[in-house]
Every structure is written in C-alpha cells, then in structure tokens.
Amino acid sequence: MSGLARFGTRLLHLLPPEAAHSASLAALKSGLVPVPPGVTDPILRTSIAGLDLPNPVGLAAGYDKNGEVIDPLLKLGFGFVECGAVTPRPQAGNPKPRVFRLSDDRAVINRMGFNNAGLTALRSRLSARLGRKDIVGVNLGANKDSDDRTQDYVTSLQALNGLADFFTVNISSPNTPGLRALQSKAALDELLGRVMTARAAAPVFLKVAPDLKDEDLADIAASVRDNGIDALIVSNTTIERPETLASHDRAEAGGLSGRPLFERSTALLKAFAQTLNGAVPLIGVGGVEDAVTAYAKIRAGASAVQLYSALVYEGPGLIAQINRGLAERLKADGFTSVDHAVGADV
C-alpha cells in the first residue's frame, strides 16, 4: 500500500465506523483514493457461471449499497463488484450505532439492517453505465416490513433485469428479523422457484449464512441443484461469537465478519464443495484478508472469492497485493490457471 493510502486508512480509523464508511465513499467519488498499479497476470483470469473475470477477487455486497462508486472500485483491481443489498423501497435500517470495529480481532460487527436508497435509485445508476464490460452484480434483499418477502426479491430482479451481470439472493443477513427462515427447505424452494421464473439472462446466485447445521447444508444443496441456481456464495456474517474475541465491542449484536469468520466459513465452503461435487460453482467469503486466505478458499472449492472487512484494516492497496500473491502461489504449485486450483484440498 502506498504511503498516502496507508495514511488515509489510518485517518479513517479516527472516525466512528459508519462515518468512516461514508468518508471512504466520498473519497472514491472525488478521485482522492490512489489507484494501485494493476495486476494483469493471465494466470488470474477465470470464469464463474459464464462470467469472464480478469481475476477471482471480488468486492462483497454491503460496501457500495447504492451503486455509487462501482467504477472507482473496479479501478482498484477487483475482478468483479457486487453492490447492494437493495430492497424495493428505500429503508433507513436499524438505529445507530450499528457498526463496530473489533480492531484487536481484525473484525467488524454490523447490524445495519439493509439500509439503502431503494430500487429506483440503484436502477438509475446502473442504467447510466450500461454497455460497460466489467462484471457488476446486485445483492437482493427484502424490506423489513414487507408482507411478501419473496415478492420483494422478484420485484427487484424484474426491475433490474438487463442492468447487472448477476444477481444474488440474500437470505442470510442476521439483521432483518426472520430473514434466515427463508433458508428452510420449503421456503427456499418456493423463493428460488419464483426468482428463477422471473429472471432473464443474468446468472442468479444464492448467499447463505455460516451458521448452518448439517441438515440445513444438505437441504440447501438440494434446493440449489433442483432450482438451477448458478452459484452459491459461502458465506455471510455469523451471529456466533468465538471465545477468542478480545475487542471491547465483541458482545454487540449483529453479524460478525473478518478474520474470526475465516475458519468457520472455509469449513462450510469445503462441505458444500464435497456435497455439490462440482454441480454448482462456489464463491468463498469470510475472513479473506491476504493471498494466503484467498488461496485457501480457492483450494477449498471456491472459483472466486469476495472480501469487504479486510479493506477496513488494509486499505485500497489490498486487492493488488492479493492478486500478486495469488499469481505467485498458483505458479509455485504448478497450476496454470485459477480453475486448476479450485478444490485442490477437497
């Protein structure tokens, strides 16, 4: 990371977490964030669900909820960017404070509650960048007070058809009461069936929670296969609190992300890889903070990875660092592409 980027990251840590997030968005909009040298090694090129990626490192949903800085983020070196979560109607989210840095643990707890400007605002921004070739997806959520949450996903998907390269059905946020109940077999089959009927050409992904029991895993895998879902994102934040957490705010309610999630989410990723046996591609999320953790996700079965929390601590130079390190590790292990390394440890 350049000295300027490192200084900017330290400066943001002087602000409360949500204010720092807003400041970072403003910095990206204004062009104040240094753009690191690109990593264009062809060994990093890969594909997932028919989407060609320049590299397998993506931005997870939650940072650019309203699609405000998609292009500045892509310039930082991400192979793909996922904006959202979006809900049909604008939503304020949960009361503040609702984001907490666990600096000693390199982690974050959030209970944002799908705060976003709504479908109309995101549709307008995505329409304005039509025709660009970069891979951009949209994470779909449901309004907290919705009478039909399944319809919320269908409504957003239909409104944004043709404007995004993929859509993610997010039923795994712990911050909307009752949302995770949609992961049960009957509810999930109904949801995915209606969503897949409403979709046009873009792939549809499903994002699951890390707090699944063995029977949940089997049911979700079956539902994903039966409904023709194009990829599975493993995983969202956890409501569990490892005993190793040392930071002051470790008991705050919400979803825990970052380093403490790595082992749990990677074990679940590997379990899905074994259960699905290549039938559905996987995207690994949770605790990706360097080339070592990104490579471990790939070897555990992920065709691509996503990160967010690590940016809080490492800043915008992280993506290039990870991609350089991934290329080195792939070559050192004798792989000629990312695809050849996927599931090497499964």
pLDDT of residue 182: 85
C-alpha 170/C-alpha 192 separation (Å) is: 11
> In the block, which residue shows the tokens 């907290």?
144
Contacts of 277 (CB under 8 A, 6+ apart): none
C-alpha 172/C-alpha 281 separation (Å) is: 18
pLDDT of residue 86: 98
Identify whether the C-beta of residue 338 lies closer than 8 Å to the C-beta of residue 46.
yes
339 bridge partner residues: none
- Percentage of the chain lying above the pLDDT 90 cut: 90
To the query of whether residue 24 is one of the catalytic residues in this protein, the response is no
- pLDDT for 20 beyond 90: yes
Identify whether the C-beta of residue 223 lies closer than 8 Å to the C-beta of residue 276.
no
- Residue 2's pLDDT band, with cuts at 50, 70 and 90, is low
C-alpha 24/C-alpha 8 separation (Å) is: 9
pLDDT of residue 96: 97
Identify whether the C-beta of residue 321 lies closer than 8 Å to the C-beta of residue 300.
no
Give the other-Cβ count within 10 Å of 203's Cβ. Answer: 19
Mean pLDDT of the chain: 96
pLDDT, tens digit, for every residue of 50-71?
Answer: 999 999 999 999 999 999 999 9
Look up residue 262 and give its amino acid: F
pLDDT, tens digit, for every residue of 282-329?
Answer: 999 999 999 999 999 999 999 999 999 999 999 999 999 999 999 999
- pLDDT for 223 beyond 90: yes
- Residue 244's pLDDT band, with cuts at 50, 70 and 90, is very high
DSSP for 76-132, written as a single string: TT-SEEEEEEE-SS-B--SPSP-EEEEGGGTEEEE---S-B--HHHHHHHHHHTTT-
C-alpha 45/C-alpha 185 separation (Å) is: 35
Q: Looking at residues 88-117, what average pLDDT do you find? A: 98
Identify whether the C-beta of residue 142 lies closer than 8 Å to the C-beta of residue 153.
yes
Contacts of 185-192 spanning 24+ positions with Cβ under 8 A: 185/219, 185/222, 185/223, 188/219, 188/220, 188/223, 189/223, 189/226, 189/227, 190/150, 191/150, 191/153, 192/223, 192/224, 192/227, 192/229
pLDDT, tens digit, for every residue of 148-175?
Answer: 999 999 999 999 999 999 999 999 899 8
pLDDT of residue 258: 98
* Radius of gyration for the alpha carbons in the chain, expressed in angstroms and rounded: 18
Contacts of 97 (CB under 8 A, 6+ apart): 16, 17, 18
For residues 186 and 67, the model is more confident at 67
Selected catalytic residue, list 146, 172, 173, 265: 173
In 3-state terms, what secondary structure has residue 305?
strand
- Residue 95's pLDDT band, with cuts at 50, 70 and 90, is very high
Q: Looking at residues 28-37, what average pLDDT do you find? A: 92
